[in-house]
Structure formats: structure tokens, C-alpha cells
Amino acid sequence: MVDFVSLISGKWAIPILYRLIVLDCPVRFSELQRAVAPITQKELTRQLRLFEQRGLVTRTVYAQVPPRVEYRITALGQTLRETLDSLAQWMRVNADQLRDPVVRSV
């Protein structure tokens, strides 16, 4: 479980993965950045490199001017869909029961 949490930890990991899963087609970097705004270019690059190293995303570079780079979810990454869907469903069902993060004095 710790490894899974490490994989999807971070503010942007789930939105990036879920966007790639839902689209299930090649996505240009700039399109992905707009889809998960307001993520910075540096953070998106970091997350995509991590996902690529773990086999969740493929990166294709086209030798043209200007250079074009596309990202796509892999078959392994696609297997996360059911898990992420269930997490989203849990949040919808239980959101009103979650405590406000503001600490209240007793």
C-alpha cells in the first residue's frame, strides 16, 4: 500500500493520470498542461518523467521544427482506471462526512 500511495502521491499525480486514462490517445504536453491547470511546466515534466520511468506513460518525440512531444497512457497505466474511479466514487459518497481541516478549539 505504501508503494501505491507513493506512486500517486502529490497534488498533480491523479489529475494527470486520470486525464491521460480518459483520453486514451496521444496528448501534447501543452494540451495536458492546460487540462490540469494551474500546474507548472516544471511539475508536469517531473510527474510525466516519473510515470514514464514506472511504465505508466509513454513519451514520443517527433523530430520536426518546432519539436513535438506526445504522451500516452500505457496498458499498465490504463489498469489504474478502476482504482481511480472507485476513489472518486468514495469521495462523492463521503465528502459531506469529512471533517473540515481547520482545527477547532474545544
Fill in the amino acid letter for 71: Y
- Sequence-separated (6 or more) residues with CB below 8 Å from residue 23: 73
At residue 9 the predicted structure's pLDDT band, cuts being 50, 70 and 90, is confident
Domain boundaries, the chain: 2-87
**pLDDT in the model for residue 80:** 94
> Helices marked H in the chain — which ranges?
2-8, 13-23, 29-35, 41-53, 75-78, 81-94
Burial class from Cβ neighbours inside 10 Å (0-12, 13-18, 19+) for residue 74 reads: middle
pLDDT digits (tens, 9 = 90+) for 17-54: 999 999 999 999 999 999 999 999 999 999 999 999 99
Fold designation for 2-87: Arc Repressor Mutant, subunit A (1.10.10)
- Rounded percentage of the chain residues whose pLDDT exceeds 90: 69
